[in-house]
């Protein structure tokens, strides 16, 4: 679910993986792996992604209770 939140936020912002990667100074592959749930970003990278996407850590990376 976390990976879908980030991908959705990126798409809503009108950014490609490459554009987001350039904004946060990582490779496009890193963004792809985060979105697939195959890479655990550092807190610093999470904050950079949140700033780039105008979201909070809770919006993108907090896993709430299962419904």
Dihedral pair phi/psi, residue 7, rounded to 5°: -60, -45
- Kindly give the confidence (pLDDT) of every residue in the chain, 67 residues in length, as a single tens digit, with 9 standing for 90 and above: 556 899 999 999 999 999 999 999 999 999 999 999 899 999 999 999 999 999 999 999 887 655 4
In a domain, 67, yes or no: no
46 lies in a domain?
yes
- d(CA 53, CA 41) in angstroms, rounded, equals 15
Q: How many CB atoms lie within 10 A of CB 21?
A: 20
Q: What is the pTM of this model?
A: 0.87
The CATH code of the domain that includes 57 is 1.10.260.40
> Nearest Cα to 3, choosing from 30, 35, 25?
35
Q: How much is the pLDDT for 29?
A: 98
What is the pLDDT, as a whole number, of residue 62?
A: 82
Number of domains in the chain: 1
- Residue 13 has a pLDDT of 96
Backbone angles phi, psi at 58, to 5 degrees: -60, -40
Domain span at 34: 2-61
Is residue 66 included in any domain, yes or no? Answer: no
| DSSP for residue 37 | T
């Amino acid at each position: 679910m976390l990976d879908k939140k980030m991908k959705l936020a990126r798409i809503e912002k009108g950014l490609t993986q490459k554009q987001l990667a350039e904004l946060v100074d990582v490779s496009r592959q890193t963004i792809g792996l985060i979105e697939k749930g195959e890479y655990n970003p550092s807190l610093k990278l999470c904050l950079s992604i949140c700033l780039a996407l105008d979201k909070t850590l809770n919006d993108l990376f907090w896993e709430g209770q299962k419904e």
